[in-house]
Structure formats: C-alpha cells, structure tokens
Amino acid sequence: DVQGKMEKVKPIGAEEYPVFYDQRREGHSITAMDAMLEGRPYPLRGLILTGANPMLTNPNADKVEKALKSLDLFVVRDLFMTDTARLADYILPGASFLEKSEVIRGGIPQSISLTKKVLEFDSCQNEYQFWSCLADKVGIGQYFPWKNEDELNRWVIEPLGLELEELAQKPEGYIYKAYNYEKFYENGFDTPSGKVEFSSDYLGEYGYEKLPVYRPAHYLSGKDKGRYKFVLITGARQARFNHSCYHNIPRFKKAVPWPVMEIHPEDAASLQIADGELVEVTSAKGSLKIRVSIAGQDQIQQGFLQITHGFDKVNVNRLTSDDVLDPISGFPAMKSVFVNVTKI
C-alpha cells in the first residue's frame, strides 16, 4: 500500500526543522545524507534527482559522494553530465526550457507568463510526463490527475479566470496584482499584530526563542579554532554563473577559466604568496589546491578568505561541513569555515 505508507511517513527533516518544512514543504537535502548512510529517521535506499547537483552545492562533498554511492538505486535526470550524474546508476535526459511549456510566476509586479515549447523529442520526457507515468506505475496516479502538461497549466491559472490560449498571447506576461508601495499604512504588515514584530510568536509556537539571539557559528568558538589561521567564506556570487550552471559556456569559461581563493594583501604578504600562485587550503573535512587572487584592501577583511562554489575541478565543498546546522532552517554555516593555507 504505497499511498498508506506515504501518508504515514513525514519528509526527512520535517521533525528536526519544522519551520523549514512549514515554509518550504519539502524534504531537507542535507539530513537526507544521514538517512542514506545511517537509516535515520528512516532508511533512504533510492533517489531520483532532477536538475540538481549536490556534489557541488551541498556541504561536506566527501560525505555526499559516499551517501549517493551507498544507494541501491540512484537515477539522475539532467541536461549535462554533472559531477552528481557521474555517480548515478541511470542517467535520463532532462527536458530543457525549449522542450516544455511552463507557467512562470513573477514577484514584482505579481504576474504570470507562459513559456512556449519550440522543440519536442520522443526520447525525452518533460517533468510532468516522467513523474505522472512513474506515479501510475507505483499506484499513486491519483496525485497526478491531469492528462498532460497543458492540462496542468490550465489548472494552475484557473483561479485567475484565464484561458491557456489567452495567456499564450501575452508574451510580456499577465499582471494580476499591481505592485502597491507603502500599503502597510492602510493594512499594516502581514504579521499577527499588523506591526513590525521583533519578537516572533510564530517561532515561539514551534518552541524556538521568540526574540532572535545571535550565537556565533560552531567554527568560531569550537575546539578547532586554535588550529587554523583563516576563516573561509564560500558562496560569493559570480555574475555569470548560478551555482554549477553555465560553467560550460565558452565565453564564460574564457572570462573565468578557473576558481580562485581571494585573500587580503597583508595576509598574502605574510604567507609570501603572489597573485596567481597555487596554494593548498585545508580544513577539518579535506583539502584542495587553488590559485590565489589578491583582493583590494577594502574588498575582504584581513583573516578571511573567499572561494566561490560550483566549479567541478576545484570543489570548495570538500572543505565545508554539515556537522553543525542552524537550529531553525537546518542550513549549514558555509561562510565561517576554519582553514589553513600552505604555499606549494
């Protein structure tokens, strides 16, 4: 009885991070690695992954690799052979934005638009085709009652009184709610009291402190602090990339051919390293070799380093940790990792 089991089992992370689950309505991908390796809160033995690359985006990449390799079945649907896809038992072609018609929501102003499908291949299913077919096979097809992607899109826009054909004729999108500035003067804020709340009753309902209290990350107060000289920041944005996406575009690769470790000029001088030199960066979780980029005096604080994630050849998440997670969101402290730097 697949349906009965689904109704009894909560998504991974829902009990440990109830606010995260209440806001996102999804499983917690970081603690899912524990389910794969240790069977808690319950065994996770199979995974179908669509358009994600946790080998380059999740912390503690060595653990992620071990967890994915431990699965009885691992399927990846993607457009490219990513670091994660290389670990899969089966790799299925994912449909690109040119091969599917989707309702896209805009935030400011509140609007929707419909992408136009311009290509179709018999050998490639879009997301709805794949998941609805799989649901039918395992006996939960009632959760996918629409015949195809177009019917699903019709259902999505039905509350607006729009027909799908009508929306398709509006390439600029359909604005269903104009952006209204300073509406709090009339209606207050979207809080229980209608006011700005520094103390959150919502957090209190889940057993957290109502008034946020700053606590330094484990890395800044733990036993390893004395062993390491620098604090590593990861995740600074590169305008050309989005996580591990677009790294294969030639003009982007030409502009940013490899990742770098950004460092303050005085720290670079103390280590006797020059711009472009190769160094080894080591944390409690692992090490990597990377080129140096000496930043301006006002671009990075002394004692801190920065490495952007998403590069497959130099994966900074070999250094990051999932040992300590934020108690509310379950997110890792990926901007406060203690490391040492050695000149090669």
More confident residue, 273 or 190: 273
Structure tokens at 223: 């036993």
Residue 283 in contact with residue 339, Cβ under 8 Å? yes
At residue 35, does pLDDT exceed 90? yes
Q: Name 288's bridge partners.
A: 281
Radius of gyration of the chain (CA): 24
- % of the chain at pLDDT higher than 90: 64
What DSSP letter does each residue of 96-154 carry, written as one string? Answer: -GGG---EEEETTTEEEEEPPP----TT---HHHHHHHHHHHHT-GGG---SSHHHHHH
Structure tokens at 133: 């077919």
Q: Give me the mean pLDDT over the 216-232 stretch.
A: 73
Q: Give the residue among 167, 159, 33 at the shortest CA–CA distance from 87.
A: 33
Q: Confirm whether 2-100+120-161 and 218-343 share one CATH topology.
A: no
Specify the range with the lowest mean pLDDT, choosing from 65-79, 151-165, 186-200.
186-200
Place of tokens 């826009």: 157
- Give the CA distances from residue 57 to residues 26, 92, 210, 284, 321, in Å, rounded to whole numbers and listed in that order: 17, 21, 31, 18, 12
- Compute the mean pLDDT over every residue in the chain, rounded to the nearest whole number: 90
Give pLDDT tens digits for 297-323.
899 999 999 999 888 889 999 999 998
Fold of 2-100+120-161: Rossmann fold (3.40.50)
As assigned by CATH, the class of the 218-343 domain is: mainly beta
Helices (H), ranges, the chain = 2-8, 18-24, 29-38, 54-57, 61-70, 127-138, 149-157, 164-168, 184-187, 201-205, 218-221, 250-255, 265-271
At residue 242, does pLDDT exceed 80? no
At residue 294, does pLDDT exceed 60? yes
Cα(112)–Cα(337) distance, integer angstroms: 40
Q: Give me the mean pLDDT over the 102-116 stretch.
A: 89
The sign one gets for the Cα dihedral 216, 219, 223, 224 is: negative
- Give the CA distances from residue 79 to residues 29, 49, 52, 115, in Å, rounded to whole numbers and listed in that order: 21, 12, 10, 18
Structure tokens at 214: 């700053």
At residue 7, does pLDDT exceed 70? no
Q: Give me the mean pLDDT over the 29-43 stretch.
A: 94
At residue 246, does pLDDT exceed 80? no
Q: Give the residue among 179, 180, 173 at the shortest CA–CA distance from 111.
A: 173
Cα(284)–Cα(261) distance, integer angstroms: 18
Residue 330 in contact with residue 31, Cβ under 8 Å? yes
pLDDT band at 219 (very low <50, low <70, confident <90, very high): low
Q: Tell me the domain boundaries of the chain.
A: 2-100+120-161, 218-343
At residue 327, does pLDDT exceed 70? yes
Q: Give me the mean pLDDT over the 12-28 stretch.
A: 93
